[in-house]
């Protein structure tokens, strides 16, 4: 690792330590923000669950704790001091940065087995990608607020990094762990398998691979490893919770059935507050299927660039999952710098940046008007969350357009450098 990467990592770590130590009330303040913490990632709820767990009471009885049992076991073994907890979150961000550095150094975003960009000289260096993650205000806020989405993001980045390093089994195991923590990362399984497969074919001579090495057999093996790992994690959780399966409904059922309608930056909570009970099940199915249909379509259409499929799916999840937070968006925005070379082809960069800043600044103000000042209602906050979701949607759509445009140019259609026709 070069000196610039080390300097960036040390700078990001010192910044987080400074914020934790100089402003001891800041973690509590940010941890109570609905934009940062959700019912399924809140550190406050984790503390409540941990208290019940250490006192021999099931944390899943009261309907407050909705996180994975292994988090209880992990934090119960850690020192109870605030500084130790803060260090855990800082270490998680450092691990995420190391994974991003590995991804950036591979150059897989500009030159893969089936695709090579004509603008690869515009790619950011590894230290630039690391800085974009560590000094992203959303990433910093997520770290200081201490939601458990930080751990999910770390494991997802580790899975992608392992896949690009030609280590498919660790990559699949890491994805299984992220799915265990947050459910929705299971949608990354198909592009991650393709990413591992492409790297093995690209970087290894066919003589070093088994004679019967094929995508179907490779995918079958990885899918088997994935579901076996998930089953083992669930079995271990069964033992941790006193031979009970009640954690399944509280941990994963809450993602699927949305029993807690606490406001967040997503689209679900207000919609289902207004929903009549006879139609609730139908629209729950529609919302879940809407999220599901993106994975196969993107994987097939962008078969040449499975890394970008993973990144785009993370962006879609940050918009349409049942309990999103700015930590999910921070993960997507931290991966986009890997595709710095497509920015000249993006059409709405200024509009998107302005809209994200607009929603970021007005979101807390509208929430205050609704909850504390009493001079507004739920429509105030939901309106600004719609602006936020629209902003991220524009980023995802514009980046997707740029990648497809570049892929079209690479295929030799003779229009490289010509202006894009605006519709």
pLDDT score recorded for residue 126: 93
The band of 422, judged by pLDDT with boundaries at 50, 70 and 90, is very low
How far is it, in rounded angstroms, from Cα 160 to Cα 93?
15
223: buried, middle or exposed (CB in 10 Å: 19+, 13-18, 0-12)? middle
Report the alpha-carbon angle 205-210-211, nearest 5. Answer: 95
Mean pLDDT of 218-242: 95
How far is it, in rounded angstroms, from Cα 412 to Cα 416?
8
Q: Is 90 exceeded by the pLDDT of residue 420?
A: no
pLDDT tens for each residue of 316-372? 999 999 999 999 999 999 999 999 999 999 999 999 999 999 999 999 999 999 998
Mean pLDDT of 382-388: 94
Q: Is 90 exceeded by the pLDDT of residue 380?
A: no
What Å distances lie between residue 181 and 12, 67, 230, 242, 398, CA to CA?
25, 7, 10, 19, 30
Half-sphere exposure of 418 (CA within 13 A, CB side): 9
352 Cβ partners below 8 Å, 6+ apart?
391, 394, 395, 398
The residue written with tokens 């119960």 in the block is 76
SS3 content of the chain, % helix, strand, coil (to 5): 75, 0, 25
Q: Is 50 exceeded by the pLDDT of residue 423?
A: no
The band of 421, judged by pLDDT with boundaries at 50, 70 and 90, is very low
What percent of the chain has pLDDT above 90? 77
Judge contact between 126 and 105, C-beta under 8 A.
yes
Q: Is 90 exceeded by the pLDDT of residue 263?
A: yes
pLDDT score recorded for residue 116: 85
Least-confidence region, from 88-102, 142-156, 281-295, 366-380 = 366-380
How far is it, in rounded angstroms, from Cα 355 to Cα 391?
6
Torsion angle of the four alpha carbons 243, 159, 85, 28, in this order, in degrees rounded to the nearest 10: -100
Q: How many CB atoms lie within 10 A of CB 234?
A: 17
Mean pLDDT of 86-99: 96
Q: Is 90 exceeded by the pLDDT of residue 393?
A: yes
How far is it, in rounded angstroms, from Cα 152 to Cα 175?
9
Judge contact between 127 and 8, C-beta under 8 A.
yes
């Amino acid at each position: 690792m070069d000196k610039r990467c080390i300097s960036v990592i040390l700078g990001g770590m010192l910044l987080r330590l400074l914020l934790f130590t100089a402003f001891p009330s800041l973690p509590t303040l940010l941890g109570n923000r609905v934009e940062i913490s959700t019912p399924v990632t809140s550190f406050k709820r984790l503390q409540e669950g941990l208290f019940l767990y250490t006192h021999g009471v099931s944390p899943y009885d009261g309907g407050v704790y909705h996180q994975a049992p292994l988090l209880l076991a992990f934090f119960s073994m850690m020192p109870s001091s605030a500084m130790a907890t803060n260090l855990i979150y800082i270490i998680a961000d450092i691990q995420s940065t190391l994974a991003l550095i590995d991804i950036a150094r591979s150059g897989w975003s500009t030159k893969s087995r089936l695709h090579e960009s004509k603008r690869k000289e515009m790619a950011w260096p590894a230290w630039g990608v690391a800085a974009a993650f560590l000094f992203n205000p959303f990433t910093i806020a997520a770290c200081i607020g201490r939601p458990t989405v930080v751990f999910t993001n770390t494991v997802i980045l580790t899975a992608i990094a392992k896949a690009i390093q030609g280590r498919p089994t660790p990559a699949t195991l890491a994805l299984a762990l992220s799915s265990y923590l947050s459910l929705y990362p299971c949608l990354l399984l198909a592009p991650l398998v393709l990413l591992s497969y492409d790297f093995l074919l690209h970087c290894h001579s066919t003589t070093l691979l088994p004679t019967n090495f094929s995508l179907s057999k490779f995918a079958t093996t990885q899918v088997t490893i994935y579901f076996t790992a998930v089953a083992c994690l669930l079995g271990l959780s069964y033992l941790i919770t006193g031979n009970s399966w009640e954690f399944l409904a509280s941990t994963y059922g809450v993602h699927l059935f949305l029993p807690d309608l606490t406001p967040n930056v997503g689209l679900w909570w207000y919609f289902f507050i207004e929903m009549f009970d006879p139609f609730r099940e139908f629209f729950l199915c529609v919302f879940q299927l809407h999220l599901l249909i993106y994975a196969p379509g993107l994987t097939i259409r962008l078969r040449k660039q499975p890394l970008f499929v993973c990144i785009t799916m993370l962006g879609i999840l940050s918009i349409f999952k049942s309990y999103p937070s700015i930590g999910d968006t921070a993960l997507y925005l931290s991966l986009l710098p890997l595709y710095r070379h497509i920015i000249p082809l993006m059409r709405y960069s200024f509009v998107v940046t302005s809209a994200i800043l607009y929603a970021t600044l007005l979101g807390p103000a509208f929430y205050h008007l609704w909850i504390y000042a009493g001079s507004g209602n739920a429509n105030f906050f939901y309106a600004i969350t719609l602006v936020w979701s629209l902003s991220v949607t524009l980023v995802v759509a514009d980046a997707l357009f740029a990648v497809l445009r570049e892929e079209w140019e690479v295929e030799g259609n003779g229009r490289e450098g010509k202006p894009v026709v605006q519709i």
